């Protein structure tokens, strides 16, 4: 990912809470009211987030920012919201940038978006099993010892 793109995404994420509600097609007030209505009808925050992202793909970054703020730091809910973002087709780098801008630990994002590399590095699979035992160098083969010591 280009450093400039990451910077722009971070700026957009940070400014999503600072700008007036009329600046976006999906405002924080509208999103919050929608979450409340959805909760009253038994719809989870993650399901509401997924629906909003699918109906407004251009607003995915703002929707994710609003949804992460609505989790109030509950890890289980954060994971559900991030899974919804992944299901909606959100780019892993965008999700990571939005999460960081909203105070979410990058390792939580990496649990959902496995291809996301955090500062601690990516997750790697288990090391391959060792092959058959070899004799290695210097195993010799002659019958006489070089020294009797």
Q: Kindly report the pTM of this predicted structure.
A: 0.62
Angle at 13 between CA 64 and CA 121, to 5 degrees: 80
User: Tens digit of pLDDT for each residue in 87-144?
Assistant: 999 999 999 999 999 999 999 999 998 865 555 555 556 666 666 665 555 555 556 6
Give me the residue spans of the domains in the chain.
3-15+27-112
What DSSP state is assigned to residue 22?
G
Residue with tokens 């990912």: 1
User: Tens digit of pLDDT for each residue in 12-39?
Assistant: 555 554 443 444 478 899 999 999 999 9
Please state the length of the chain. 149
Segment (H or E) for 106: helix 106-112
Q: What's the CA gap between 16 and 61, in Å, rounded?
A: 9
- Which residue from 74, 115, 87 is spatially nearest to 63, judged by alpha carbons? 87
Question: Greatest CA span in the chain, whole angstroms?
Answer: 91
């Amino acid at each position: 990912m280009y450093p400039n793109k990451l910077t722009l995404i971070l700026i957009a994420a940070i400014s999503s809470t600072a700008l007036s509600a009329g600046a976006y097609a999906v405002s924080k007030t509208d999103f919050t009211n929608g979450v409340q209505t959805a909760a009253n009808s038994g719809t989870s925050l993650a399901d509401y987030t997924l629906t909003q992202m699918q109906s407004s793909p251009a607003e995915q970054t703002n929707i994710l920012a609003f949804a992460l703020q609505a989790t109030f730091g509950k890890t289980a809910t954060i994971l559900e919201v991030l899974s919804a973002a992944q299901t909606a087709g959100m780019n892993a780098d965008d999700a990571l940038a939005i999460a960081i801008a909203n105070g979410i630990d990058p390792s939580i994002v990496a649990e959902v978006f496995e291809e996301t590399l955090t500062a601690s590095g990516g997750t790697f699979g288990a090391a391959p099993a060792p092959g058959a035992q070899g004799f290695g160098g210097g195993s010799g083969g002659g019958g006489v010892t070089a020294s009797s010591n």
